[in-house]
Amino acid sequence: MSDNVYLAQMSTDMEEARAKASFPVQSMVYLLRGGKGAYEKSNKIRELAEREPLFDKSSLSFQSRQEQLCTSLLISKRLIEMVEENDMDDEQFIALFRHIELLTPLALHYTAFMPVIKAQGTTEQADKWHTAAKRHAIIGCYAQTELSHGSNVMGLNTVAVFDQATDEFVIHSPDITAAKWWIGGLGVACTHAVVQAQLIIAGKSLGPHLFIVPVRSPFDLKPCKGITVGDIGPKAYGGFSTTDNGFALFDHVRIPRDNMLMKFAQVARDGSYTPPVHMKLSYGSMVKLRVDIVTDAAWKLAKASTIAIRYCTVRRQFHNPPSFKLNDNRPESQVISYSSVQHRLMPLLATAYALAVSGESMHQQFGQLMDQLELNNATLLPEVHATSCSLKIWSTRRSSEGIEECRKSMGGHGFSIFSGVSELFANIVPANTYEGDNFVLAQQVARFLLKQLNNVVKGKEITSSTADYLKTLGQGITEPFAFENHNEQILNPQIQLEIFGMRAARLVADLGQQLQAGREWSDLNMECWTLNFAHAEYLILKQMITKVNAMAAVPEHAGLADTMKLLTDLFCLSTLGYSSLATFLSTSTIHPSDLGKLNEQYRQLITRVSNDAIPLTDSFGFSDHELNTALGKKDGRAYEHLWDAVQKNPVNADPENAKLNKLVMEILHRGNNLEYIKAAKL
C-alpha cells in the first residue's frame, strides 16, 4: 500500500465510520442471514467458494460474450465437481451456487426446471425427471415466454395437441411468433425444457399446461427432430452476459403422454381430462420465481448501497462548508457528509433492509402455500399471487432506480465497470419485465383488491389479511389524518400503518368508483400502477413493524430492535414525504400544512441513519469477493484498488496493444503525414 497521506486517510475514514456503530453489527449480520448457525454454515461454503481460483471474476470484464459463456460453463462444471469432492447435500450446493454470484447457463436448471418438476409433477415423474436433473444427466430450462407473448400466459401460441391414436402430445409452434424466446439456459446448454403450451384435446383448448420436451440429445447435443434452437444474442447494458438466453421453434414434435406434468391436471389414455382444483395451480412456479425476485432485488440494492456508501465515506471533495481560501490546508470533506448525498443514499439503505425483511416474509408465505397445494388446497393462492406480484413490481422498480442512483452518487468513477454497481443494475433492470411485465401485473393486483372491496360493499368479511386496511372505508372518514403531535405520532407504528392503509384504501375506492362511472378497464392502467405502489408500501411497512415487534420480544435480538425501528421510520417518512408524496396528497390522506413538521422528523432520521451508515452496510455481511468492486472494498482504499484493477486490462499489454498500435499508426502515417510530423518536429 502507498504511503500517500490522502490514500492512508481513506482507510482511516472507513475505520472511524465503522467505530461509530450504535448497535452490535455482528448480531445484525446473524439476524439478516437467518441466525448465527445458518450464517456460520453459509460462511464455510463462502470460504470454500472464495478459495477456488476459477471463481475469481476479475477477468470477466475483459472477455467477449462467447468467452464469458465458456467461463460460466467451466464454473458450472467445477461447481458440480466440488459438490462431489466435498460430499455436499442439496442445501449446501444451493448455497455454493448462490455464493459465486454468477448467472450461468445452468442457473434456471436449479431455480426453475427442477423446482417445477418437483412441484407440478407426479411422484413417478419426479422420480424420473428430477432424479436425472439432479445428477445432471439432463439439463433443463423453463420455457414460457414467446416471441410475441410474455405476460399474457393465456395467449401463448405454442400448442400441445393430444393424439389419442398414439398416446402422444404433438408440440407445435404455428409460426415464429410462437417461438419460445428469452429462455435462460436454452441457448447452448439445455437438453430438456418444461414448456408452457396450450393443451388441445379433440379440437378444444383447455388452457396452458406444462410439458417436458427434449430439445437436444444428451448424447451429442444435436437438436432433436423437429426443433430449431439457439441463442438470442447479447442483452441490454451487457446484462446476463454469462447466461445463454435462447429460442426454440417446435415443428410437430411428438412426446409421450406421460411427459405432461400431471400432479394437478391429468389427461388419461382415452383423452379424458381431469382439471386441477384451481385453474391457476400451474402458476405456482411463477409465484416462486417472483418471490425469489423480491429477495434478489433486496440484496442487489444492499450491495449497491454498501458500495456507494463506502466509497462516499472515503471520497473527499471540496470543503463543507465551502472555503474560498486559496491555501486552505484542511483536508477536503467526505462526500458522505453532504446533505444531498445523505438524502439520496440513506433512504436506499433503509429500502434494502425493508426488502430483505419483505423477502423473508414472502418466502414464509410461499412455504405455507406449497404445504396447502400438497393437499390440493388452493385457498392461499390468490393472496400469495397478488402479494408476490405487488412486491415484485415495487422491488424491481425501486431496486433498479436505487442502484442507478447509487452509481450517480459515486461521481465519475461510478461509471467504471470496476465500481461493481453497473453489473448489479444490468442484471436487475430486466426483472421489471420478466416473470410478468410490471404494468400488466399491476392490473392483476388491482383486480384482487377490487374483489376485496366488493366484500366490504356487500358487508362480507375481507378474505385477505393483506388488504385489511379496506375495513377503514366503512368508517366513512374522508378528511386528512389529524396530527396532534407530529413528532410523536409519526413514529407510532399504528399511526404509520393507519396513514399508509388510509391512502391505499382510498385509491382502491377511487378505482372502483371510476369503473362504476363507466371508465374502461383498459383506460385505468396508471391508476392500477399507483394503487399497486400504495398496496406494496403498506405491506412492506407492516412487515417491517411486525419484524421489529418480533425482535423486541426475543432477548437475542432485542438489542437490535431500536435500529430496525429507526430504519422502519426512515422508510416510512421517505416514502410519505418524498417518493410517494403525490398520492398521500391526492387522496387527502395528509394535509399539505403537515409536511413541514414531518420533514423535520425525516431530517433527524437521515442524520441518525447516516451516523450508522457503515455499520449498517457491514451488517449485510458481504465479503469483498461477493461485492466484486474496486471502490467499495471493506478497507476503504478505493483508489489503490481501482488502479490495480485497471492494470489487468489486456489493452495495456502486448499482443493486444500491438494490434491497436498498428491500426493507429496506419491513421497517423497515411499519405505524406510523416513529412509533416518531421517538419513540425512532433
Give the amino acid at 122.
T
Binding residues: 145, 184
85 carries an active-site annotation: no
Please give the annotated binding residues for FAD, written as ranges. 145, 184
**Does residue 332 have a pLDDT over 80?**
yes
Is the pLDDT reported for residue 188 higher than 70?
yes
pLDDT at site 606: 97
- Domain assignment present for residue 317? The answer is no
Mean pLDDT confidence for 314-319 = 88
Per-residue cell: 483: 396530527
Using pLDDT thresholds of 50, 70 and 90, give the confidence band for residue 2.
low
Given this model, what pLDDT does residue 1 score?
Answer: 46
Distances (CA, A) of 536 to 415, 490, 530, 548, 588: 31, 19, 10, 18, 19
Active-site choice (405, 423, 435, 527) = 435
Calculate mean pLDDT across residues 530-539: 97
What value does the mean pLDDT take over residues 579-603? 95
The domain tally of the chain equals 1
Q: What is the pLDDT of residues 478-526, one digit of tens each?
A: 899 999 999 899 999 999 999 999 999 999 999 999 999 999 999 999 9
Residue 110's pLDDT is what? 92
The model carries a pTM of 0.92
Give a yes or no: residue 182 inside a domain: yes
Q: Is 3 a residue whose pLDDT tops 80?
A: no
Which has the higher per-residue pLDDT, 330 or 332? 332
Q: Which of the residue ranges 119-123, 310-314, 606-610, 651-655 would you say has the lowest mean pLDDT? A: 651-655
Q: Sign of the CA dihedral 650, 656, 657, 663?
A: negative
Residue 172 lies in a domain: yes
The letter for the amino acid at 439 is F
**pLDDT above 80 for 656:** no
Please tell me the number of Cα atoms within 13 Å of 247 on its side-chain side. 15
Rounded to whole angstroms, how far apart are CA atoms 278 and 198?
17
Give the per-residue pLDDT at 265. Answer: 92
Work out the average pLDDT over 256-268.
94
Whether the CB-CB separation of 396 and 293 falls below 8 Å is answered with yes
| Cell digits of residue 229 | 434452437
pLDDT single digits (tens) 276-292: 876 666 666 678 889 99
Q: Which pLDDT value is given to residue 376? A: 77
| 655 prior amide bond cis, ω within 30 | yes
Percent of the chain with pLDDT over 70: 97
Whether 242 maps to a domain, the answer reads yes
In the chain, the amino acid numbered 38 is A
Q: What are phi and psi of 436, to 5 degrees?
A: 105, 120
The pLDDT score that the predictor gives to residue 327 is 62
For residue 160, give its domain range.
Answer: 137-275
Cα-based angle 256, 145, 385 (whole degrees, multiple of 5) = 95
- Of 585, 181, 537, 583, which Cα lies nearest the Cα of 393? 537
632 within domain boundaries: no
- List, as own/partner pairs, every contact residues 595-602 make where C-beta atoms lie below 8 angstroms and the sequence separation is at least 24, other chains included: 597/483, 597/486, 597/487, 598/486, 598/490, 598/573, 600/486, 600/487, 601/486, 601/487, 601/490, 601/491, 601/573, 602/570, 602/573, 602/574, 602/577, 602/578
Any domain includes 33: no
DSSP strand E in 41-148: where?
140-143
Count, in order, helices (H) and strands (E) of the chain.
25, 11
Which CATH number belongs to the domain containing residue 267 in this structure? 2.40.110.10
User: In the prediction, which pLDDT does 429 show?
Assistant: 94
Q: Please, which residues have CB within 8 angstroms of residue 140's CB and are 6 or more apart in sequence?
A: 108, 109, 113, 114, 117, 133, 185, 190, 191, 192, 193, 194, 212
Residue 385 lies in a domain: no
Confidence label for 320 from pLDDT (cuts 50, 70 and 90): confident
Beta bridge partners of 195: 143, 211
184 occurs within a structural domain = yes
Confidence of residue 324 (pLDDT cuts 50, 70, 90): low
